[in-house]
Amino acid sequence: MRLDKYLTELQIGTRSQVKQIIRKGSVFVNGEPVKKPEYSVDEANDTIIYNGKVLSYQKYQYFMLYKPAGVVTATKDNFDKTVLDLLPSDAGKGLFPVGRLDKDTEGLLLITNDGELAHRLLAPKKHVEKTYYTECSGTISREAVARLEQGIDIGDDTPTKPAKVKILSQMTDMYTLELTITEGRFHQVKRMIAAAGGQVTYLKRIAMGTLTLDSTLEKGSYRVLTEQELVELKQL
C-alpha cells in the first residue's frame, strides 16, 4: 500500500495533508524517514511511526454498541443523532450499522466496515437469530405463544417464521418475555406482539447470532469486539 494511502486510511489527514506530512520527513518506516508519498509499505509487517507513535493498521473494525432510545440507526441524518455519532471521529472509515433498530428501541448493534460479514449476518437464507427482551401491556395466553412459535400473521404476504418465546413474568395487565426471531421485517417484534393481542411498551435487543450485549456497557457506550466474539460470528 502507498504510504500516503496508509496514513489517509488511518485518518491522519486528507490525502494532500498526509503528502505534506511525509515530505517534511515526519514519518518513519522501519526506523528510517521516508519523504516519498508513493513509497510502498507492508501494512502487516513494516513498523511505521508518526509523531513518535507506532501506527497500527486494521482493514476492518468491529464495534459492539449499546444503542439508546432516541438515536437513529443510520450513517447520517439531517435531524437526529445517529449511531455513528456515538463513536469517536477516528473510529474508522466506511463504518455502518449491521441491520436496524427502531429509533425507540434499545440494545445490541454491531457496527463495522466489513461488508462481507454484514451480508452473511443479514442474509435471509442464513436465519441468524436475534433475541429481544420486551415489556408488553395486556396478557398473553398459551394459544398466543403457540401462534408466535408456529409463525404468526402480521399482515404481510406470508406469516413470520417460527419464533422462540420465553415468558419471563406475567401480571394482570402486563408481561415480559424474550422473543427470538430469524427475520428482519419492518417493526417485526412490535407487529408480532400486536398480532398476539399485546402491545410493546419497551424493546431491547440482547443478542444477535453468537453475539450477546455486554452487561457492563452503559447506554450509548461501545467497545471493540473480542477476538473470540469475532471468530464465533464469522463461523455462523
Among residues 195, 197, 190, the alpha carbon closest in space to that of 139 is found at 197
Q: Which of 46, 85, 102, 214 is catalytic?
A: 102
Q: Determine whether 85 is an active site residue.
A: no
Residue whose C-alpha is closest to residue 64's, from 48, 81, 89, 83: 83
Nearest to 3 by CA among 210, 13, 199: 13
Measured between alpha carbons, how far is residue 142 from residues 133, 148, 201, 212 in Å?
19, 10, 21, 28
Q: What is d(CA 87, CA 95) in angstroms, rounded to the nearest whole number?
A: 10
Contacts 24+ apart (CB under 8 A), 24-30: 26/50, 26/51, 27/3, 29/3
Dig out the grid coordinates for 97 from the structure.
Answer: 450499522
Q: Coil, strand, or helix at residue 131?
A: strand
Closest among 173, 203, 25, 205 to 99, alpha carbons compared: 205
Question: What is the distance between the alpha carbons of residues 204 and 4, in angstroms, rounded to a whole number?
Answer: 43
Rounded to 5°, the CA angle 182-187-191 comes to 90
SS3 category, 29: strand
User: Which residues are known catalytic residues?
Assistant: 102
